[in-house]
Amino acid sequence: MTGVRVAVPAKINLSLRVGPLRPDGFHDLATIFQAVSLIDEVTVAHGEPDSGRLVTVRGQRIDGVPLDDRNLAARAAIAVAQLAGLDDPDVRIEIDKSIPVAGGMAGGSADAAATLLACRRLWEVDVDDAVLHRLAAELGSDVPFCLLGGTARGTGRGEHLVPVLDGGQWHWVVAFDEGELSTPEVFAECDRLRAIGAAEPTLGSDDELIAALRSGSPQELAPLLVNDLQPAALALRPSLAATLELGTELGALAGIVSGSGPTCVFLGADRDHAIGLAAELAGTGRVRGVRHAVGPVRGAHLVA
């Protein structure tokens, strides 16, 4: 399809601290995001007259991805069209997915970020990055970071971002689970566990983690990874505990559930160590799939 093509990375949360439920139904978050080299590509083009918004998706395990206006990419196109004063334009959105669906790596948010950038170019909308960031924040908590990329501290719902100085190239092993987890359900389970005293918010700050990122030392970073949603993800999907244990037994410096899960990520000491770990983990046959990923990488960017 001829049009505007944008590449956009997955995210992992090196730290995810979840505050109490707010009156608006969201939680205050304090998180350290990192963009990693699992990449979706989104192509946006003018559609045929009276065709409306057409979304097509290619990739593995995409059966549950909506192809109408429930798709976050379609909603991103609508947001840019409204900003441009376009009345329900005909547009085609093609998504080539490598980021797992409902895997805790912001796949839907990444596609929305890519669509914002692509539609701005397609329709030649004269708005700066700050306006695009505002639209991203209205679409979802992770969408602004998918635009930014790199490594960043997120607060609020995660949409208020400050870049973090990162002195290393980090090698991750990403283990895909057989199923999916709903982010709202994981947050609800987190609230339930806290209400019965089975889980508590993580105390402290991310200052040590940020210092470890600056140092570039995987050994310093490993013990500082934290995810307040992990107990909830494990409660909903107990098999993830065995995946985390397996990665550690095979030599990962650390393992953690990515965001709301069910994807697990493991930190390698260097490229060779991570590639070897990925091969061993895949060879066990106990996870659906394994990928080696590098971070940080750039956020959403035009490729054609």
Q: Which residues belong to the active site?
A: 11, 142
Q: Is the peptide bond before 262 cis (omega within 30 degrees of 0)?
A: yes
DSSP bridge pairs for 291: 174
Report the SS3 class of residue 75.
Answer: helix
Q: Which residue has the tokens 């992770």?
A: 142
Q: Where are the beta strands (DSSP E) in the chain?
A: 4-21, 27-46, 53-58, 91-96, 151-155, 160-163, 170-176, 226-227, 254-257, 264-267, 289-295, 301-302
A 10 A CB-CB count for 203 gives 6
d(CA 50, CA 47): 8
